Amino acid sequence: MAEWYVAVILGIVEGLTEFLPVSSTGHLIIAGHLLDFTGPKAETFDIVIQLGAILAVVQLYWSKFTGLLRHDPAHAFSGMRGIKLLILTSIPASLLGLAAHSAIKTYLFGPQTVAWALGVGAILIFLVEQLPKRNKVTGLDAITPTLALGIGFFQCLALWPGFSRSAATIMGGMILGAERKTAAEYSFIAAVPIMFAATGYDFLKNMHLFSVDDLLFLSIGFGVSFVSAWLAVKSFIFLLGRMTLRPFAIYRLVLAGLVLLYLGS
């Protein structure tokens, strides 16, 4: 495996970008090329550190996840109803991902395709922020099955590496009438089942690539990703009450231009 500092850098990149609307997959692909850490083993390492970021969300929203184990009359997003909402959101991207998994890995995992995804996503963020704010849905308890399924269809955009699952689901929620912060929080929670399924599938398929000697490297990346994601999610939710998504769109456009300029050939 690579040196320990590569695990630290990639762990920070993953943790900071997984739940922000800037695409963690895109950043990891770019960072991997810059660090000369690519190939099947690197891709599987990225899966391990994604699990660290996922667990950070589970810890932050622990009461929401444990609330899914029992029905709470005071909260609509609980028990079997909450589980059904998450299933509805997960279905479209899960089915499309299974069908297109090989093609995505073959044709879309490169700096140039990531740059275009970053740019297209940025333009869509600007457009969504220009739409009249309907804001009919405020709070997780107000999310309906129709809204959950609609967000699920928007989540399919995230299968294009660089687009960002967070951006796709937050924008989808806003377009369908959810308040920005509500769309973001549901995006974080809805990410957990589909990401556990996707990363678990990839890791089990490729775990033979690692040996006992790689455990320290994997542990460093996992731990750094967990801490970075925890801080990023807390900060993002705090900022969403005070800003729009436009700064993230600007960042995406700048990054897309730099990638095309330096890594696009």
Assess whether pLDDT exceeds 70 at residue 178: yes
Q: What pLDDT digit, counting tens, does each position of 115-138 carry?
A: 999 999 999 999 999 988 766 899
- Confidence label for 96 from pLDDT (cuts 50, 70 and 90): very high
Domain boundaries defined on the chain: 4-262
Amino acid at 189: I
Contact assessment for residue 6 and residue 35, using Cβ atoms and an 8 Å cutoff:
yes
Q: What pLDDT digit, counting tens, does each position of 197-234 carry?
A: 777 777 777 777 777 788 899 899 999 999 999 999 99
Q: What is the pTM of this model?
A: 0.89
Residue identified by tokens 């850490």 is 37
Read off the pLDDT of each residue in 25-36 and give the average, rounded to a whole number. Answer: 90
Q: What pLDDT digit, counting tens, does each position of 34-61 carry?
A: 999 988 888 888 888 998 999 999 999 9
